[in-house]
Amino acid sequence: MKFFVDTADTKEIAELAATGLLDGVTTNPSLIAKSGRKFLEVIEEICGLVEGPVSAEVAATDYEGMVREGEVLCKLAKNVAIKVPLTLDGLKACRYFADKGREVNVTLCFSAAQAILAAKAGAAYVSPFVGRLDDIGQDGLGLIEEIVTIYDNYQNFTTEVLVASIRNPIHITASAKMGAHVATIPPSVLKQLVHHPLTDKGLDAFVKDWASTGQTIA
């Protein structure tokens, strides 16, 4: 499973990129707004921090506007993936950019039927929102399983399932068991994956035992 980080905080991205665990970045207008910085400036900086795809979302909701804004984003860096909403205009824009060889992330997916449309439109990624479905009492992980099963039935579907709106490590491990290709993870949740009480306890014991020997390695 590939790990993307879901943030526009360039300091967080640089820190996580240095671990070698990061495969890409996703952003959205809300995350950019929180940064208080200029949209294009932030996207360009992020693209310089990671080699993998950086999903940059268009703000327009009509086809012509999406294409116009997407063309601007494409000029920022080769690893910009155009992010469009799962609407008819968004799917049309997806096909436009896919035909030009640009990766497209179709976002705000909440049903398997929508995911089929994204695949047919040539999306590189479809982003089903697990947490938001859980919030309204629906089965977010069940949707991931449905989409993965459907995509596996058709060899001509090359779209990757990018699990979004992740709230906890269980969302990640469960999605990985189902065969989802990518998880886009808030920095705080990504860091949670490292921790386990037995790891901390074991390390503490090792440190104390080593200190008792009075030795050094270097």
For 70-129, what is each residue's pLDDT tens digit? Answer: 999 999 999 999 999 999 999 999 999 999 999 999 999 999 999 999 999 999 999 999
Which domains, ranges and CATH numbers included, belong to the chain? 2-213 (3.20.20.70)
| Contact call for residues 60 and 66 (beta carbons, < 8 A) | yes
pTM of the predicted model as reported, rounded to 2 decimal places: 0.94
Q: Is the pLDDT of residue 201 over 90?
A: yes
CB-side neighbour CA atoms (13 Å) of 64: 0
83 labelled catalytic? yes
Helix (H) or strand (E) holding 172: helix 169-178
Q: For helices 88-99 and 112-120, what crossing angle results, to 10°?
A: 30
Residues 89-102 pLDDT 10s: 999 999 999 999 99
Residues 2-41 pLDDT 10s: 999 999 999 999 999 999 999 999 998 889 888 889 999 9
The three-state secondary structure class of 25 is: strand
- Catalytic pick from 83, 100, 177, 201? 83
